[in-house]
Amino acid sequence: MPIELTELQLAIMRVLWQKGEAAVSLVHEEAMRERDLALTTIATVLTRLEKAGLVARRQVGRHYRYRALVSEEEVRRSMVSGLADRLFHGDVTALVSHLLAEGDIASGDLERVRRLIDQKQRHKEG
C-alpha cells in the first residue's frame, strides 16, 4: 500500500520517529515550533494516521500515547516511488536527470551521489 502524507502528517510522524512514543500534547508542542495549530487538530490527524495503520495508540491514564508503525525510510521510499511513478512514469533515470538538471546541487553533494552509485554497482556485481 503506497504511503502519501501531507506536510502536517509528516511533521507529526517526525515527532513520533524522534521521540519513539508521545502524547498528543507533546506532539502538539513540537509541531507548534513550525506552525500554529490547535491541539484538537493534532489529535484529529493522529486519529486519521491511526485509522490508516501508520500509528498505534495506547492509553496511559486518561491520555493516549502514540507511536509510529512505519519507519521514516518506509515512508520516504513509498513517497519517492509514488512521485517517480506519477511524474516520470516510473523512470528513475528521468527523475535523477531532472534533479541534476533543475536542482542547485553543491559539488560535495555530487561527489556523495557518485560514491553512492559506485557502492550500489559494487553491491550488485558482488
Average pLDDT per consecutive 10 residues, the chain (126 residues; last block may be shorter)? 90 96 94 86 96 96 96 94 90 86 81 88 82
pLDDT at 20: 95
Q: Please tell me the pTM assigned to this model.
A: 0.81
The answer as to whether 90 is a domain residue is yes
pLDDT of res. 122 = 87
Looking at beta carbons, which pairs linking 67-75 to residues 24 or more positions away fall under 8 Å? 67/16, 67/20, 67/21, 67/22, 68/13, 68/16, 68/17, 70/3, 71/17, 72/13, 72/14, 72/17, 74/3, 75/3, 75/5, 75/10, 75/13
Does residue 1 fall inside a structural domain?
no
Query: How confident is the model at residue 44, as a pLDDT?
Result: 96
* Pair 51, 92 in one domain: no
Domain that holds residue 77: 72-125
